[in-house]
Chain A
């Protein structure tokens, strides 16, 4: 964004840049943390699979079945792939807190090592999409924001809203906001199609196009207030609410002041 890049030069920008840098360092560490067990896992893959199996039997098998074959209330996990496990468990959606219509994002129950072990275990049962590595998460370099926006509006906006704020589905289900979700999570969601979300195959939306979508989302996330408070970016409903409460409310208040007698 030309506008953004120019305002980076401004004096207010340096504290912001510092914050951003801190944020980057923070995420790098957490990404590094997440990826390090994978490196060690390759050393002793079978050990990790075993550890994952133990966690699975304790935490998941009551619903998903002893061999992840699925049950009455939960789907089979055969072939869902490591990416799916990383998405569901890594964002705290699984294990579910209760049997509500939809698993929501919450604080993860397992640490990154345990998530990786679980993912390894599930991936070992049947082949499925793998966790995207850092090497392909180069959306800042390879993505095209405008193209990403177009893809987002064609494939994502109908559920996640034009600005990625999320929206309602039928029967109380909802598409969550994509703001604040990290790039890997977004990527995993597209290739695995968690819960209500359909799968966006790599031949339909290519990996390069997926990176463009992520770049657009990340851009929308930090887009400054161009015209004032964003009002939730949900369209005209909040605008109408504001004009009746604040707008007309304030003017009626002033009209009362205007017509009261002074002493």
Chain B
């Protein structure tokens, strides 16, 4: 036994003598995690969060969250002698006077973009594989909450330096607050400590950005991970993998090395991005003043969909009884996002209501085997993509010789036409893929070998799948649609007949499938 192993052994001994945790620790060190690349997306998110905590703490050592006016006399000459807020000046100070300060600022910002990107990719993985189903609905809701908070946290973060671009963003956020009927003006004045921009907003959002939201994040992430731990990870179906087991590698040592190593890799990749690619060059944007603006003012990508929605909204305002309601802000800025996020949070319950499925699920779905859900996901994704494209319409227009007006009209129409189209196409595609799977199981793989039959016809030899492959393509269950008759066994009309009728119809749409090969089909092939 090496000295290292001995030392670890005595640590384990020390811990157990004081906590009596030996049995519990042993069980958890042997915890099994299945291996799949898409299971690492959540880890990327978690690791970017840790990077954000580390780099963010570094930045707070010098950042001065104040809108008090100062005269800049620093290292960056093109701004020398200008009046600006202390927040902006201290960000310049971090960027140009602190060694490694610009690197850390860029790491913080790239990690934030990566955090949100990985989070969305993780969310899509969970959605398309059905990992949100019972017993994991609660974790799905926490996830939706984390996405929402992430968007807010990111927005507050890039608003802190008080540069021309972020100040424009704050101006727009204020307009959204102000647009809320009845209380909007009050909310805006309370948030900003008076009229826009005031001197209170940045100090306030600083506290929210570095204390309140990270605290909530830590709490939610802890619960999120504890649930994953306790409920054990889901796994992709395959031979030997059932609803009753988890097949993978144990935490100690494999996952400790892999996941620990992956943390350093994510950090390394973020550091590399921050070395070679500039992000948020606030010294070029200049200090914020409400009288200035730059062409192509955009938010960070995770806000791009909101900006795109606001841009495409029709110019509607109502003036009645001495009051104004700005539908052109309320609909794209609050109502549509509200519907989207509520719908997303409730989806697990909607699906289980439509399928009537109340069982636990630990085996993931292949997206093609649940055409309706996959199509719904593609539809939502298309919606967001259209809005994001419109959010960058000015940049796209100049780079692809289009006009802002064309892109705007294309997205105004596209937002209604393309998502349903994506739904139909994706659903058909899934059913075709199911058909292909069925053919593969029944007729085998194309071997590429041609055979000439006695009468001259050429045929390709098909190689039958082995038992493992066949099982992987046929293990999924194909549940029949719910049947909720209008009349019960006694011929009495059941309550809520309309709802039931609608539920039945939706349920049959949800369970539309291509019949997978049955054991009888398989036996038949063997006879051939």
What is A's interface to B at a CB cutoff of 8 Å?
Answer: 1-4, 145-147, 149-150, 153-154, 157-163, 166-172, 174-175, 216, 219-220, 223, 225-231, 233-244, 246-248, 250-252, 254-256, 258-259
Q: 15 A-B pairs, CB-CB below 8 angstroms?
A: A146-B78, A146-B81, A153-B164, A162-B294, A167-B394, A171-B405, A172-B397, A228-B275, A231-B279, A234-B296, A235-B395, A237-B298, A247-B269, A252-B37, A255-B38
B contact residues, total (Cβ < 8 Å): 73
B280 touches A168 (CB 8 A): no
Q: Determine if A172 and B403 form an interchain contact, defined as CB atoms under 8 angstroms apart.
A: yes
B138 interfacial contact with A, CB 8 Å: no
B280 in complex: contacting residue of A2, A158, A171, A236, CB < 8 Å? A236
CB of B286 within 8 A of CB of A168, answer: no
Contact residues in A for B44 (Cβ distance below 8 Å): 248, 251, 255
Query: Would you call B484 an interface residue if the criterion is a C-beta within 8 Å of the partner chain's C-beta atoms?
Result: no
B110: which A residues are within 8 A, CB to CB? 243, 247
In the complex, given contacts A161-B294, A171-B404, A251-B269, what are 13 additional A-B residue pairs having Cβ atoms less than 8 angstroms apart? A3-B77, A145-B78, A147-B81, A153-B286, A160-B295, A168-B295, A170-B403, A227-B102, A228-B277, A229-B278, A239-B300, A243-B301, A258-B262
Q: A145-B78, A233-B284, A258-B262 are in contact. Are A248 and B121 (CB under 8 A)?
A: yes
Across the interface, A227 reaches (CB within 8 A) one of B38, B106, B406, namely: B106
How far is it, in angstroms, between the C-alpha of A215 and the C-alpha of B64 when the chains are bound?
31
Of the listed stretches B111-119, B189-197, B355-363, B520-528, name the one at the interface; the rest are far from the partner chain.
B111-119
Cβ contact within 8 Å between B277 and A242:
yes
**Minimal beta-carbon separation of B505 from chain A (angstroms):** 38
Chain A: minimal CB distance from B243 (Å)? 22
Closest CB of chain B to A38's CB: distance in Å? 33
Q: A2 CB to closest chain B CB, in angstroms?
A: 5
A258 with B280: in contact, given A235-B298, A236-B299, A243-B117 (CB under 8 Å)?
no
Q: Judge whether B333 is part of the interface by a CB distance below 8 angstroms.
A: no
Bound state CA distance, A218 and B403, in angstroms?
29
- Give the contacting residue for B284; candidates A162, A166, A252; CB below 8 A: A162
Interface residues of B in 60-117 (CB under 8 A from A): 75-82, 95-96, 102, 106, 110, 113-114, 117
Nearest CB of A to B158, in Å: 8
Once A233-B284, A247-B273 are accepted as A-B contacts, the answer to whether A240 and B300 lie under 8 Å apart by CB is yes
A162: contacting residue among B76, B285, B398, B403, CB under 8 A: B285
Evaluate contact between B106 and A228: CB separation under 8 angstroms: yes
Tell me, rounded to whole Å, the shortest Cβ–Cβ distance linking A35 to chain B. Answer: 30
Q: Tell me whether A228 and B292 are in contact (CB under 8 A).
A: no
From B114, B118, B277, name the one whose CB has the most chain A CB atoms within 10 angstroms. Answer: B277
**B117 A235 Cβ-Cβ under 8 A:** no
Q: Do residues B117 and A244 form an inter-chain contact, with CB atoms below 8 A?
A: yes
Q: Are B398 and A235 in contact (CB under 8 A)?
A: no
Which single member of A235, A239, A250 contacts B297 (CB below 8 Å)?
A235
Give, as a whole number of angstroms, the nearest-CB distance from A203 to chain B. 19
Instruction: Contact check, A3 vs B75: say whether CB atoms are below 8 A apart.
Output: yes
**Chain B neighbourhood of A219, CB < 8 A:** 78
255-282 of chain B: CB within 8 A of chain A: 258, 261-262, 265-266, 269-270, 273-281
- Flag whether B40 is at the interface (Cβ < 8 A): yes
The reply to whether B295 and A175 contact each other, CB–CB distance below 8 Å, is yes
* Nearest Cβ on chain A to B54's Cβ, whole angstroms: 18
A252 to B79, CA, bound (A): 40
Measured in the bound complex, the distance between the Cα atoms of B397 and A168 in whole Å is 7
Q: How far is the CB of B38 from chain A (nearest CB, A)?
A: 8
Closest 5 CB pairs of A and B: A167-B295, A240-B301, A172-B403, A1-B77, A255-B40
Interchain CB contact under 8 A, A226 and B278: yes
In the complex, residue of chain A having the shortest beta-carbon distance to the beta carbon of B249: A259
A92 to B276 Cα, complex, angstroms: 36
Enumerate chain B residues within 8 angstroms of A4, measured Cβ to Cβ. Answer: 77
Given the known interface contacts A3-B76, A243-B113, A243-B117, the answer about A227 and B37 at a Cβ–Cβ threshold of 8 Å is no
Do A247 and B258 touch (CB < 8 A)?
A: no
List of A residues within 8 angstroms of B265 by Cβ: 251, 254
Q: Choose one: B165, B274, B292; the contact of A235 (CB below 8 Å).
A: B165
How distant is the Cα of A14 from the Cα of B207 in the complex, in angstroms?
48
In the complex, which of the residues A246, A247, A256 contacts B37, with contact meaning CB atoms closer than 8 Å? A256
Q: Are A171 and B403 in contact (CB under 8 A)?
A: yes
Q: From known contacts A146-B79, A161-B296, infer whether A239 and B394 are also in contact, taking CB-CB under 8 Å.
A: no
Q: Tell me the complex Cα distance, A241–B401, Å.
A: 19
* A237–B159 CA distance with the chains assembled, in angstroms: 16
B392: A residues at CB distance < 8 A = 237
Verify B300–A248 contact, CB threshold 8 A: no
Known: A2-B77, A258-B40. A227 touches B278 (CB 8 A): yes
Cα separation A244 to B300 with both chains bound (whole Å): 12
* Chain A neighbourhood of B398, CB < 8 A: 166-168, 174
Distance of A137 from chain B, by nearest CB (Å):
20
Smallest CB–CB gap between B215 and chain A, Å?
26
- CB neighbours of A258 from chain B (8 A): 37, 40, 258, 261-262
Chain A residues within an 8 Å CB radius of B258: 258
Q: Is residue B402 contacting chain A, with contact meaning CB distance below 8 A?
A: yes
Taking the closest CB of chain A, its distance from the CB of B197, in whole angstroms, is: 16
Does B77 lie within 8 Å of A234, measured CB to CB?
A: no
* B35 within 8 Å of A (CB atoms): yes
With A153-B292, A228-B106, A247-B110 as contacts: A168 and B394 at CB distance below 8 Å = yes
Q: Which residues of A contact B58 (CB under 8 A)?
A: none
Is B291 part of the binding interface, using a Cβ–Cβ cutoff of 8 Å?
yes
A231: which B residues are within 8 A, CB to CB? 277-279
Assess whether B80 is in contact with A146, with CB atoms less than 8 Å apart. yes
- A contact residues around B278 at 8 Å (CB): 225-231
Which residue from chain A places its CB closest to the CB of B299 in the assembled complex?
A236
CB distance from B287 to the nearest CB of A (A): 9
The answer to whether B36 touches A259, judged by C-beta atoms less than 8 angstroms apart, is: yes
In the complex, the answer to whether B296 meets A167 with C-beta atoms within 8 Å is yes
